[in-house]
């Protein structure tokens, strides 16, 4: 027939709605996987986002991005800022490459080796990405690309978010 299977086909959305109130419905483990992707963007694109993640810490997951404890407007503002900064970094990185025609993508950090061990090891995606980022940070330190203090901060943030 004339039909083709489009397995893996991608069509960029016309509109994306991101509302923190939806996060209330998610299990903390699933939120943690999203946080791994946000850490990735913070490491490669936005130092201020990295500092913000250090500031809000695991509460981002335990309070479900500020939807569990609604009487803290400062924390809610920080949660909105985390989401905005992560999304902005991603869009700025990927807008010209929506169909992934090239691999010069800074947000591929954490996805170098993890595809090879995520499923065989029975790991969930966020944990695999986090361990790959941690290993990447370690190798970057060994190569002299980042100082030990930066490597340690990456490792501590990944650990405090309970990703490794």
- Three-state secondary structure call for residue 16: coil
pLDDT at 76: 93
Local mean pLDDT, 10-residue blocks, the chain (164 residues) = 57 81 91 94 94 97 89 93 92 72 72 88 91 96 98 98 93
List helix spans (H) across 95-124: 114-117
Cα angle 151-40-148, degrees, rounded to a multiple of 5 = 5
Region of 135 on the Ramachandran plot (φ > 0 left; ψ -120 to 50 alpha; else beta):
alpha
pLDDT at 115: 85
Residue count of the chain, please give it: 164
pLDDT at 97: 66
| Per-residue DSSP letter, 25 | G
């Amino acid at each position: 027939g004339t039909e083709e299977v489009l397995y893996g086909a991608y069509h960029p959305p016309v509109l994306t709605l991101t509302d923190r109130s939806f996060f209330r419905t998610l299990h903390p483990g699933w939120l943690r996987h999203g946080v791994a992707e946000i850490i990735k963007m913070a490491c490669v694109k936005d130092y201020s986002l990295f500092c913000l993640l250090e500031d809000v810490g695991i509460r981002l997951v335990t309070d479900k991005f500020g939807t569990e404890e609604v009487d803290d407007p400062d924390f809610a503002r920080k949660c909105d800022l985390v989401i905005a900064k992560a999304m902005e970094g991603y869009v700025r990185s990927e807008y010209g490459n929506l169909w992934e025609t090239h691999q010069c993508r800074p947000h591929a950090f954490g996805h170098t080796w993890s595809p090879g061990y995520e499923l065989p090891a029975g790991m969930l995606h966020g944990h695999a990405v986090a361990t790959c980022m941690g290993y990447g940070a370690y190798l970057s330190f060994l190569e002299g690309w980042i100082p030990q203090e930066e490597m340690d901060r990456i490792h501590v943030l990944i650990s405090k978010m309970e990703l490794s």
